[in-house]
Amino acid sequence: MKVVVVGAGIMGLSTAWALKRRGHEVDVLEQGPFPNPLASSVDDHRVLRRAYGPELGYQAMVTEAYQSWSRLWADLGRSLYVETGVLYVSRSGDPWLAASVEGLAAAEIAVERIEPDEAVRRFPVILPEGIGQAVHVPSSGPLRAGEIVAALGRWLAAKGTAIRTRTRVVAVEPAHAAVILADGTRVAGDRLVLAAGPWSPGLVPALAAGVTPSRQLVTYLEPPPDLAAAWQAMPVLADLSPDASFYAVPPASGMRLKIAGHTFSLAGDPDRERVATAADTETVLAIARGRVRDLRRFRVLETKTCFYDVTADERFLAATVDRTVVLTGFSGHGFKFGAIVGEKVAAAVIGEMLPAALAAWAAGRVAAKVPRRPLP
């Protein structure tokens, strides 16, 4: 079978990987260079985390994701995951965090509740104000996102699939598993997978209904020398404060320290508004000042823009129409599922998984059955 994959981000490349492992022919089309710096997947890191509040379907998918990443690491010859753990801090009574603790404990996944004073003692880079509860989940950490994308491209090339760069798709023919390129060329296969991220709504408005491109900001920093060791030893920090929600990825294993807000802008054009300004940097830093100790002493290395494709409920869309699968709506939490999404989509494309089952799974509506027992 020949499958045309549009988009060389994590979802498109993972699908191509899974199909090539099964012996199918894949034609990958990318609108820019490869890796494309405008792609949502091309960044230093994304976080592979266990906690998912009341969303037990997505919590169960994380376990599947770990298994799928292991298969990918075996093919790539090395792991591109760093297990630092994640520390969640919030005000008392946060319902999302409470549901996360309950769901993880029921699934027998290690989770540690820490008294606020103890959290500040163990992790001295954070400020104590407003922390009513703290939870540490050891089995989580950063995925080296940009390195994963590049490594997948090399693996595909070694298997005979060269990514066709600067190949912009301007129209899609779902019934014919075909696309029209900007130069008028028509490319067709037995099946088509559209994984164009925030560009999907412009290509298939009906199938990507409800998906909004969202301009996001990330800032990379260098901590002062006296805090460097403490930051090296930090887990990922996720602050759930409703008025200043953000996450910070530690500079472990040669990575850069990154801070980014959780709030979606739900605005912007993914082909424009790409230059980050000084005001953008200040927007990010302002969110974190109340939690990160001595943030004024950090050196700003870079502020970048990134575009997510977001649905109102942050559920993923995997819509199948005729001979085409459209993957979109992966928001800020999709990358962690890249490898398993690729395997599931490949199964659906070759007829091993029904389209409705793929859609329900991608939307997080298939939860694992876990025993309920008293919390520790």
Residue 219 near residue 284, CB atoms below 8 Å: yes
Q: Residue 226 is part of a domain; what is its CATH number?
A: 3.30.9.10
261 and 303, same structural domain?
A: yes
Q: Report d(CA 260, CA 262) in Å as an integer.
A: 7
Distance of CA 273 to the CA centre of its chain: 21
Q: Residue 238 to residues 259, 262, 271: CA-CA distances in angstroms? A: 10, 9, 30
What backbone phi and psi angles, to 5 degrees, belong to 145?
-55, -55
302 and 234, same structural domain?
A: yes
Q: What is the pLDDT of residue 371?
A: 42
In a domain, 245, yes or no: yes
Residue by residue, DSSP assigns 117-129 as HHHHHHSTTB--T
Q: Pick the last residue of a domain from 265, 281, 309.
A: 309
Q: Where are the alpha helices (DSSP H) in the chain?
A: 10-21, 56-76, 95-106, 116-122, 145-158, 200-203, 225-232, 278-288, 338-349, 355-362
Residue by residue, DSSP assigns 67-95 as HHHHHHHHHHTS--B----EEEEE-TT-H
Q: Residue 192 is part of a domain; what is its CATH number?
A: 3.50.50.60
Q: What is the pLDDT of residue 243?
A: 84
Residue 275 near residue 305, CB atoms below 8 Å: yes
Q: Pick the last residue of a domain from 309, 328, 346.
A: 309
Closest by CA position to 331, among listed 284, 364, 282: 364
323 and 301, same structural domain?
A: no
Mean pLDDT per 10-residue interval, the chain, length 376 residues = 98 98 98 94 95 96 98 98 98 94 97 96 96 97 98 98 97 97 98 96 85 96 97 97 93 95 92 94 96 98 96 95 96 96 98 96 77 38
Burial bucket for residue 92 (CB in 10 Å: 0-12, 13-18, 19+): exposed
116 and 201, same structural domain?
A: no
In a domain, 66, yes or no: no
Closest by CA position to 221, among listed 313, 267, 289: 289
Tally of CB atoms within 10 A around 127: 17
In a domain, 372, yes or no: no
Q: Spell out the residues 6+ positions from residue 78 whose beta carbon is closer than 8 angstroms to its own.
A: none
351 and 326, same structural domain?
A: yes
Q: Which domain holds residue 260?
A: 84-140+212-309
354 and 285, same structural domain?
A: no
Tally of CB atoms within 10 A around 62: 22
Q: Pick the last residue of a domain from 267, 283, 309.
A: 309
In a domain, 57, yes or no: no
What backbone phi and psi angles, to 5 degrees, belong to 247?
-135, 155
Q: Report d(CA 133, CA 115) in Å as an integer.
A: 6
